[in-house]
Structure 1
Amino acid sequence: RVFEPFLFWSDTLGLAAFTVDGAMLGIASSHGDNLFFDTTLAFLTGVGGGLLRDLLCAQKPDIFTKHVYALASIIGGLAASLVIDLAGAKNTGMVTGFLLVILIRFLARHFRWNLPRISPSESDSSASS
């Protein structure tokens, strides 16, 4: 419990940094004009480190329990890619994506945001209807 804020901020900064790094990698590749590719690469790079960490610690990965975790990475990667592609401002795009991931993660933690969950009983009843 004592280290929880430190772990949260370390994880958030790592997610933001690797999300932006993935977006930059996608833009620098020959697929730089493909927004879907850039955002997907940003997402995979961003959540990959946390996923590996959780698997090595034998924990359920955050990406499967904290849905805003993945969403923050997707939005940050998309924002970075859009700013760089549309405005051509590389540094501004990097900072925008980085800060957006941090902001979303902070707000999600502060306000206890989660994406809607479907319980198994709800999905079973809707599938049989």
Structure 2
Amino acid sequence: MSTSANGQPGAAALTGPATAGARRNQLLLALNGQFEGAAMGEVFNYQGKTDILIRVEDRNVFIGECKTWGGPKAITDGLAQLLGRYMTWRDTKAALVHFVREGALSEIIPKAVRKIEEHTHFVRRPTQLHVQ
């Protein structure tokens, strides 16, 4: 994997093909600027390898799983992977990141929200989210 001038992974992702891994590396580059190098990619956590893991001292402060949008089923599969394999009872901050290469976001976002709301662990919507 290529590194940037400061030794962080991801610089090659800025010019390479737009795969989910390359886009994840772009996110890692930005996150490492904020978290002083604590953001890691493809790291073992709990029962698998998560795409993004930020640890501060001895605690996970964020876990991220990156996917390329492939329809509403991708939400179900991604949530099962994130919640079932990468997060423990101690983890409180996580995100399922979907990169959309094709399709209209105005059509995709409501489908994704509906699929999230159908999940067994769904509790409530944030009050500021206004998706129809």
Verify same fold: TM over 0.5: no
| The structure with more strand, counted as a fraction of residues | 2
Is the radius of gyration larger for structure 1 or structure 2? 1
Q: TM-score, normalising length from structure 2? A: 0.29
Q: TM-score, normalising length from structure 1? A: 0.30
| The structure with more helix, counted as a fraction of residues | 1
